[in-house]
Structure 1
């Protein structure tokens, strides 16, 4: 690989890291930033120099908190200005995971000892190709503060993840093996496990199966309270175990995002049992669909807060929301209409955004009790796309893609509302008691759903966000929100005539 291509490696690694974190394919990213899939592929293989426009667009679409732009700015000026050509000697063409590789069983375990996480990945792989396989691509990516990329990027710039602390170990079958580093960034490592060691080579021949295993360590000041498994190869069985100290009183939940727009709880339960002083949570699924993503999250109810000390408890409500990645009032993204999805072409992008929304909802539920229900719109996460979720007081999750209110009742009422983007206040807002909302399924089919009373209020609030409207614009002339300290409705549901609070 030429010197110019080598100089672009940090940018390539940062781009791939954030594309991986956000769950986008090269084609989906290309569509979102207005470039061709071929362009993105050539940038990531080192054959094409990125333009400044591409870097800025990719940083915005991937909500990378400026990390991709900074990596671009680190390139030498001549590097940034020169159009790339294929480089003699580049091995990028061979650095591709075999497309005919089948994972018979993907088994992962994450163990926490109160200070360090140790992740162990075991995969039984089968070679369905006509050629021997001699390497396997793996990625190690961490994000201490999901939904707050600026904060995570700052953390890893000041204290990057190092090979020494990771203490990586790998083997194929019973043989320890080495690896070749592909990308090495502050919070992202990509490398090829090589099926060889100083004593011999152990290729996986056509029709054969073998177990590969690798494990690594990350301290809890660099590892966020989430563990995601993505299905990138045909997989017959997927299993995950979380192993925590019982004294921390862990609470664990999981969400699945597949080929539909919805991100929903796991279809099967996470089992829990105790062994000595350890709490073991296990979950398994058969034949997971390709491109599905399974995200497990947790909190330690008897341990320190996510911030590691009591300072988080002293934050104002708005500061708490900002700390979990919620965009605050004053950001221009909250005042403009969000970009609609082109469906079904952008189905993958919808799945990614909805997964981000669900994850944000789980984080918010960890710092506030939402007795009235809650909702989150993509612009509140810095994502300029027309998607939102609503979670009712009963726990039902409603996904809204490209929604618009097409009809509303003449009957209305006034109730106090709060908004995560300025959560220090509450405002009295008139809303119709019933609304009809047109929205789309992942396959592009348009539907009309009628929402009433409390659910109508929640949905209307989120649809407003997608049109660049805040609830304060609906408040009667001459009124303004009150400080949350003066609000007396916390912990109560909205009240409606007839005693119904959450009609279906």
Structure 2
């Protein structure tokens, strides 16, 4: 693909997505159709909530109002999959007046647009590189009175996630604010996720007396499953990799988005982690963000060896964040995990990072840290805890100081 260009226009109630792709036929055969996907998720951090929304009010073809053209010719399509929150279809290079195949060595533009109301569209827009692409560009066009703020995250083939390597450009145009970003030669299978918030609406919500007050209520409000939900005490399903690589990337993207939301409401000086069951996804995936800013992605992880040396430190869990519990853990663990291509890997984690990783693997195994605590030891309230804002430090022997 020579160029993948997308624009999202929001009028305060409805999103209109327009995607233009300049494709080149490098095959020896004519191309007569092109596969496209339309996918929505209103609550990306709360899959159960999103599933319920679309079961009760599915995305329909009438509301989408899809239009498509190849070159300057309007074209039709054939539906491949039609689900509540997901549509997949083949654009057909033909209409009632003729056929317009793309022959070997030729280039053409494909353009299609569709509309989704904001009651079904979440505050994010993702671009996935599924074909070799020379240039990728995105624009978000929002009303200036909503005071929009936009940020972006890249997820690579290895499932590692990090902020966009280059800044998102912002410009004002009359009553609109336009955010644009582009990159050349994006790696195959990379995902670029733009997220936003409308600060004028956020300030109204924050002034509402219904806003959550406790630490656990705040975590619930950003999509973190709370204690008592059966998904937290069941064994998460492993990925069949690389067959389920796309599913794994989607889950990792959701984990990173949840971590960004959590970082916006709490300071994590010791690092933090999130496992898929905590955002309502029954899959064996977790991420850990270390105090140094490194992101560790774990797919199908299991602890295969532990050190004899242990220490006992306070831990917090997003799924019951009003308390902290003192938990004994090994100072070193050896973890077997799978990368996105299906290759088995073994990694050794030590000290504070070992504690973070062990905590998240426990979540995948349906274990809460309270079951790891010594008999007779109870969690303390977060108001009693004095460790917030402090990093763990260890002496030369690895002991906590």
Q: Which residue of 2 aligns with 1:392?
A: 290
8 Å CA contact retained: 2:236, 2:364? yes
TM-score, length-scaled by structure 2: 0.82
The answer for the alignment partner of 1:329 in structure 2 is 227
Equivalent in the alignment of 1:275: 172
Does the CA contact (< 8 Å) of 1:148 and 1:323 recur in 2?
no
The 3-state SS of whatever aligns with 2:216 is helix
| Cα distance in 2, alignment partners of residues 140 and 343 from structure 1 | 24
* Match of residue 291 from structure 1: 189
CA offset digits 1:44-71 (Å, max 9, x no partner)? xxxxxxxxxxxxxxxxxxxxxxxxxxxx
Q: Say which SS state the counterpart of residue 460 (structure 1) adopts.
A: helix
Structure 1 residue aligned with 2:61: 163
Could you tell me how far apart the structure 1 residues matched to 2:288 and 2:373 are? 22
TM value normalised by structure 1: 0.67
**Aligned counterpart for 1:404 among listed residues 299, 303, 313:** 303
Q: Check whether the contact 2:16–2:114 (CA below 8 A) recurs between aligned residues.
A: yes
SS in 2 for 1:363: helix
Structure 1 residue matching 2:202: 3-state secondary structure: coil
Question: How far does residue 323 in structure 1 lie from its aligned partner after superposition?
Answer: 4.6
Structure 1, unaligned runs of 5 or more:
1-102
| 1:364-383 correspondence to structure 2 within 5 Å | 364-383=262-281
User: Once the two structures are superposed, what CA deviation does each residue of 1:193-220 show, in whole Å capped at 9, x if it has no partner?
Assistant: 3334455443323322111111122222
Structure 1 segment 441-480 matched on structure 2, within 5 A = 442=339, 444=343, 446-453=345-352, 455-480=353-378
Matched residues in 1 for 2:176 and 2:387: separation?
36
The Cα of 1:336 is off from its aligned counterpart by 4.5
Structure with higher strand content: 2
Looking at structure 2, the residues matched to 358 and 169 of structure 1 have their Cα atoms a distance apart, in angstroms, of 33
Distance 1:469 1:323 in 2: 23
Q: C-alpha displacement at 1:340, in angstroms? A: 5.4
Give 1:379 deviation, angstroms. 2.9
Cα distance per residue 1:48-100 (max 9 Å; x no partner): xxxxxxxxxxxxxxxxxxxxxxxxxxxxxxxxxxxxxxxxxxxxxxxxxxxxx
Select which of 409, 420, 434 maps to 2:331: 434
Distance 1:187 1:257, change over 3 A: same
With over 3 angstroms needed to count, the CA separation of the structure-2 counterparts of 1:440 and 1:244, relative to structure 1, is: same
Contact 1:146/1:324 (CA < 8 Å) preserved in 2?
A: no
Secondary structure of the 2:200 match is coil
Distance 1:187 1:466, change over 3 A: closer
- Give the direction of change, closer, same or farther, for the CA distance of 1:490–1:155 in structure 2 (3 Å limit): farther
Unaligned runs of 5+ in 2: none
CA distance, structure 2, for counterparts of residue 188 and residue 464 of structure 1: 32
Superposed CA deviations along residues 413-471 of structure 1, whole A, max 9, x for unmatched, are 433x3212222x21231445832433446263534434334x44423322332343212
2:379 aligns with one of 469, 481, 502: 481
Give distance in 2, aligned partners of 1:309 and 1:132: 59
Task: State which of 368, 378, 390 in structure 2 corresponds to 1:493.
Answer: 390
* Pairwise CA distance, 1:305: 7.6
How large is the Cα RMSD of the aligned pairs? 3.5
Distance 1:189 1:342 in 2: 24
CA distance in 2, matches of 1:492, 1:433: 23
Bigger share in helix: 1
Change (3 A) 1:312 1:293: farther
Aligned residues: 392
- 1:420 partnered with 2:291: no
